[in-house]
């Protein structure tokens, strides 16, 4: 069954008046991993358990971009939910998710943009609840707007991360190396929640995806013996 981001992409394509063509490439792509068939990485797709959930609130065309890393989160974390952010409304399914008593929602955003009383520094274990990390999947400019204009998130705690390393993301240009991509943020959240195996697997999956994606772009074969590929080998389904 397609995961949440794949379903959201299908919903977005159904509303499109013209085909979406990824910038800089018209090569046919694998619909599962979104990489040109010559560099398909589906055989490396990991299978791992995670006790956390991730809710992706995605800007309009993010699900359509082959470089989007929210897709990679859904590959690894089975309890991933994805919704299109709406400027003038909210998906009722999102509100149902936020109200579901099994989840402990946490908005992931820099703490300086939130009221001090909302900011938390760690993931506290709550009996009977699983952490649900709410990630705003967009450019930094778009994400700040989404954070300000989403009143249904206003009552939720904000977890502000303090990454110790610079972003490894190389698929889109950014003026800030300290701005992590969505998958890197999710991996940090999983690690904070004690979901170390899932965090490490997601990091490796991002690195493998990047290797194959850029390999296709620059017409070179990926290094299938590098550390990321070796890390994923243990997480492959038997």
Q: How far is CA 91 from CA 58, 86, 107, 118, 207, in A?
A: 12, 8, 17, 24, 32
Give pTM, 2 decimals. 0.91
Q: Which two tokens stand for residue 25?
A: 């490439």
Which tens digit of pLDDT belongs to each residue from 72-96?
999 999 999 999 999 889 999 999 9
pLDDT confidence of residue 180 = 86
CA distance 2 to 8: 10
CA distance 63 to 94: 17
Sign, Cα dihedral of 2, 8, 14, 18 = negative
Q: How far is CA 29 from CA 78, 80, 141, 165, 211, in A?
A: 23, 23, 29, 32, 16
For residues 93-107, one letter each, b for 16 or more C-beta atoms within 10 angstroms of the residue's C-beta and e for the rest, the string is: ebeebbeeeebbbbb
Cβ proximity of 107 and 146 under 8 Å = no
Q: How far is CA 130 from CA 15, 103, 104, 147, in A?
A: 34, 5, 6, 23
Residue 16 confidence class, pLDDT cut points 50, 70, 90: confident
Which tens digit of pLDDT belongs to each residue from 150-208?
999 999 999 988 766 545 555 554 444 457 899 999 999 999 999 999 999 999 999 99
CA distance 109 to 12: 25
- Residue 64: CB atoms within 10 A of its CB come to 18
């Amino acid at each position: 069954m397609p995961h949440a981001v794949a379903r959201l992409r299908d919903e977005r394509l159904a509303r499109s008046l013209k085909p979406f063509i990824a910038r800089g490439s018209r090569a046919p792509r694998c619909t599962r991993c979104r990489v040109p068939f010559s560099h398909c990485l589906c055989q490396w797709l990991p299978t791992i358990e995670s006790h956390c959930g991730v809710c992706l609130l995605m800007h309009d065309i993010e699900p359509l971009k082959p470089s989007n890393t929210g897709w990679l989160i859904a590959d690894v974390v089975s309890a991933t939910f994805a919704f299109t952010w709406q400027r003038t409304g909210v998906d009722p399914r999102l509100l149902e998710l936020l109200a579901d008593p099994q989840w402990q929602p946490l908005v992931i955003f820099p703490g300086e943009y939130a009221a001090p009383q909302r900011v938390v520094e760690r993931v506290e274990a709550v009996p009977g609840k699983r952490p649900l990390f709410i990630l705003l999947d967009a450019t930094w400019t778009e994400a700040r707007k989404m954070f300000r204009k989403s009143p249904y998130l206003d009552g939720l705690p904000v977890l502000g991360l303090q990454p110790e390393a610079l972003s490894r993301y190389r698929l889109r240009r950014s003026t800030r190396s300290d701005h992590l991509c969505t998958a890197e943020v999710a991996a940090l959240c999983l690690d904070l929640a004690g979901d170390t195996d899932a965090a490490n697997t997601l990091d490796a999956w991002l690195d493998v995806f990047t290797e194959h994606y850029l390999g296709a772009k620059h017409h070179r074969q990926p290094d299938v013996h590098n550390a990321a590929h070796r890390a994923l080998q243990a997480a492959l389904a038997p």
